[in-house]
Structure 1
């Protein structure tokens, strides 16, 4: 099936076919400063709103070659402005609403955005950024009080017709080291990602014109913005825009919005399973969940309690397309996430990029095909050709993820390469220990990382957020060590265990391990840390 020329072209075609179908839905939330009673926009209504915005941008001279920053949280305006700008061939730069001054300054300086549209309470912050930016002037507009005429960009638009290769968005990777990299994403990237989701099949069967996606992941993340958003547009379905994940609001909003598909991250299943049973959790219309990171120990329990399958996936901002373990029999007791497919080929490679035999652990390398490796992937890292070339060394995209591939092609996640702890010659996957600890009833959240060790090179350290009501005592620390030591090889059990009140996360709820401790700090010196190294014996 051929793809439309742009995301806007796909939206316009769907709106003509399903004008009265719901496009955007906001659950009610009393006291919120927008749509406290909830909101539902049809494709017909959205077309009218997009047309008005498109006219304002066009009158000001916006077109190909321009970028507009959008700090619009999870509001419908994000998609409305995006579609209006996409129709003109402009790219957008989604801004994480949790960003502080320096982070926004870097992003808006690096991207050379021509304009920023913001929620009201961040306008002043962005105006301060604009005053300090070294690039061209940066007007800031309040999305709730747009002027009759938009400020013009500093340079004229390029004379070209928007198409597959036109930049649609510049998404910045969350990055655990150094500054985030700006991933240039084209119309083809968005359309390929949405069509790929649409066509996965198995338990992930999208029903045209009948489904409603509840995705609590932020719209500055490819999962919601590109994969889910474009899939909804291509299939005449509805996007439900909630404000972050909340276990307390989850089932109420699922019921209120009549959601049929939910998206999740690994933090979602344990928190929902720890909630008291409610009648609403039995009355939902959800057919499946799509996400990544559910602990194998909790996967089956979740499906039995709530009555729908969770399909584990793998994807990155750079890839757009996702792998998915969505065909029965699914491997829910493992970290399996699918098999290579035409259009998203994969190998497991050593550090020199050489393919490894099945069953061995190595880095996941992916591509579209040998003939056209980069088709449908990101277009490159903005102003960083060296990083782009390094990522594509040997004609494969290097993911940085350590995986195993079984004889039947099923790929199982092991860990991020940077999350491998090397202790006395043993390579230890932090994710394995995190999964073990997360399965304990007293653990709300955990991050495992390497602590320095003068004898063994590195030692396993676990930072644990206890469940509410659990006192962070030495007895609990010892119980958690015993829990791991009983289930894992002795060298994998935490040599150090530290209770913390919370863990720093990105907007997509990924733990930022590099921010747990200050640069240069020896984590072993933290007050209250528990030392179990002497108990690590064969």
Structure 2
């Protein structure tokens, strides 16, 4: 194995204690930093034979790519994108599941300064029309597996304008062959300095859900990858000679948290297990056979893993495990530790930022706690006391997790704003603070414990679901007059999507109608959004002004769960 280049040390300053653990750290981003050139290409030149990516799928395909190969493939992809008319500032949608092509496609787009818009393959035409229109997407690189390419075509037809469409893993009429295009691409010529992106130019755009509107567009600039040094080094504790697996599809921000930026800055090989349906046994077999050394997943995944006899699998290569995406039940922590000897180190962040609260590898773990504020941010727990931004919450008191943002000094890793929506940006980012709208309380030791959302966001099985997105689809069903989407407790998933519905005249509240509405939603938006629980009611709890009080609905669901009754109206438990 080639020597390490120690690239990350160029961007990180640490103050270490007697044990060699950071008391604090600071990140630096030099002018003109570009992950494609300054990380991928440098590693390709300095350590060309070091493995960068190990990819496999359930069909038995397997391939390992070195940094030298990733450099070459990303250059070919950059040349091909330019031949397709993609230029600096253009917004390109990537729908690539867990295909290896994602890694050289995103790197290539960084090199030419295009804005990458990752998306999940679960989106339907309804979801895509909104994203293509709002983000002004000019090109799509899409898997040809499954039906999502068809959904893109349907959305394109509804938009009434043509997209540059490039297909991966297959061929399809009307789609350019991305893989073939790379093979025939002309040598890549790095753009002139004047044509390269600046550090504060937009690099990534993620759609993230809201409660009273359609998804917002979170923008990160070219400094963002540097913030994930802390993610990989301090939280995930990646081993440069090991193999790191974060179980995320590339359409989600968690993917670049755990499968790209910090891991390659730490020169670790990223493990990619390309599957369609989660299967705990297959995942355990993969952890065993691939000899994964560090692993990160949502609590739901660990809940499924501990239902199996882990002694049947050789997990001896596992050194460190992390958990994020939703609050963790302490029972999961205790059971996993008893079975494996490994503690689950929890962390908290958002699409809008990186880890703000975290249990780093050297810190004592409190089961169920997110950990302590990261040194990468100035984190406050703010209470509402009648002032604009409140005051710092005392131990045991609920407060909103906020990030201090001094004028002109946005910390590396915090988003630049919501694209095209200054009003929403201002609503969460004002008077020197970014407001996460997540509630927590801290104990006497300074550990944070998650409480819930200040708004109505639903987190289920690691997904983030905005009620308005689902309500818009449910309301299109002819039987529905009014609908409120909330979270409901669930023994397996922690939280599921619940629809509280008032029916139109002539419809009866039957189990058959529940299944029909569920099927209706499944076929019109991403499957993870459909309501697993449906309750028919005569009237909604409302405010005097007529706004639905979702907090009352949620409270009713929680009370029903505590009393051991049916799951708040019943529904699909599959």
Say which SS state the counterpart of residue 284 (structure 2) adopts: helix
Structure 1 pair 518/238, CA: closer, same or farther in 2 (3 Å)?
Answer: farther
Counterpart contact for 1:14–1:235, Cα < 8 Å: no
The whole-number CA distance in structure 1 between the counterparts of 2:400 and 2:328 is: 21
Tell me which of 284, 287, 298 is aligned to 1:265: 298
Counterpart contact for 1:340–1:346, Cα < 8 Å: no
**Matching residue of 2:568:** none
Tell me which of 49, 52, 64 is aligned to 2:76: 52
**Matching residue of 2:433:** 396
**Matching residue of 1:206:** 238
2:229 counterpart of 1:229: no
Say which SS state the counterpart of residue 205 (structure 2) adopts: strand
2:373 counterpart of 1:339: yes
Structure 1 pair 85/282, CA: closer, same or farther in 2 (3 Å)?
Answer: closer
Structure 1 pair 516/225, CA: closer, same or farther in 2 (3 Å)?
Answer: farther
The whole-number CA distance in structure 1 between the counterparts of 2:149 and 2:368 is: 46
Say which SS state the counterpart of residue 248 (structure 1) adopts: helix
**Matching residue of 2:16:** none
Please give the residue correspondences for 1:60-459 in structure 2 after superposition, counting only pairs within 5 Å: 60-121=84-145, 122-133=148-159, 137-144=162-169, 145-146=177-178, 148=181, 160-192=195-227, 194-200=228-234, 204-207=236-239, 209-242=240-273, 243=275, 245-292=278-325, 293-326=327-360, 330-350=364-384, 352-359=388-395, 360-367=397-404, 372-373=409-410, 375-418=412-455, 434=489, 438=491, 446-447=495-496
The whole-number CA distance in structure 2 between the counterparts of 1:534 and 1:258 is: 41
The whole-number CA distance in structure 2 between the counterparts of 1:131 and 1:535 is: 50
Offset, 1:378 = 0.9
Counterpart contact for 1:348–1:403, Cα < 8 Å: no
The whole-number CA distance in structure 2 between the counterparts of 1:530 and 1:365 is: 27
Using structure 1 for the length normalisation, give the TM-score: 0.74
The whole-number CA distance in structure 2 between the counterparts of 1:310 and 1:533 is: 27
Structure of higher RCO (CA pairs closer than 8 Å, 6+ residues apart): 2
The whole-number CA distance in structure 2 between the counterparts of 1:343 and 1:534 is: 37
**Matching residue of 2:4:** none
Structure 1 pair 323/13, CA: closer, same or farther in 2 (3 Å)?
Answer: farther
Q: Deviations over 1:102-151 (max 9, x none)?
A: 101110111111111111143333122222225x531212124236599x
The whole-number CA distance in structure 2 between the counterparts of 1:44 and 1:280 is: 34
Structure 1 pair 392/37, CA: closer, same or farther in 2 (3 Å)?
Answer: same
**Matching residue of 2:58:** 29
Say which SS state the counterpart of residue 313 (structure 2) adopts: helix
Counterpart contact for 1:271–1:444, Cα < 8 Å: no
Offset, 1:391 = 1.1
Tell me which of 30, 35, 39 is aligned to 1:7: 35
**Matching residue of 1:16:** 45
The whole-number CA distance in structure 2 between the counterparts of 1:419 and 1:175 is: 8
**Matching residue of 1:490:** none
Structure 1 pair 397/28, CA: closer, same or farther in 2 (3 Å)?
Answer: same
**Matching residue of 1:479:** none
The whole-number CA distance in structure 2 between the counterparts of 1:344 and 1:211 is: 32
The whole-number CA distance in structure 1 between the counterparts of 2:197 and 2:439 is: 38
Counterpart contact for 1:213–1:261, Cα < 8 Å: yes
The whole-number CA distance in structure 2 between the counterparts of 1:530 and 1:409 is: 28
Structure 1 pair 307/65, CA: closer, same or farther in 2 (3 Å)?
Answer: same
Point out where structure 2 has 5 or more consecutive residues left out of the alignment: 1-9, 12-28, 170-176, 186-191, 459-485, 502-516, 542-552, 565-574
The whole-number CA distance in structure 1 between the counterparts of 2:447 and 2:142 is: 43
Instruction: Tell me the number of residue pairs that the alignment of Structure 1 and Structure 2 aligns.
Output: 452
**Matching residue of 1:483:** none
Counterpart contact for 1:227–1:321, Cα < 8 Å: no
Counterpart contact for 1:64–1:159, Cα < 8 Å: no
Say which SS state the counterpart of residue 27 (structure 1) adopts: strand
Offset, 1:534 = 13
Offset, 1:58 = 2.6
Counterpart contact for 1:169–1:185, Cα < 8 Å: yes
Offset, 1:100 = 0.7
Structure 1 pair 177/214, CA: closer, same or farther in 2 (3 Å)?
Answer: farther
Say which SS state the counterpart of residue 141 (structure 2) adopts: strand
Counterpart contact for 1:168–1:185, Cα < 8 Å: yes
The whole-number CA distance in structure 1 between the counterparts of 2:329 and 2:558 is: 25
Point out where structure 1 has 5 or more consecutive residues left out of the alignment: 31-35, 151-156, 422-429, 453-499
Offset, 1:531 = 9.6
Counterpart contact for 1:190–1:320, Cα < 8 Å: no
Counterpart contact for 1:27–1:257, Cα < 8 Å: no
Q: Deviations over 1:64-95 (max 9, x none)?
A: 21111111111111111111111011111112
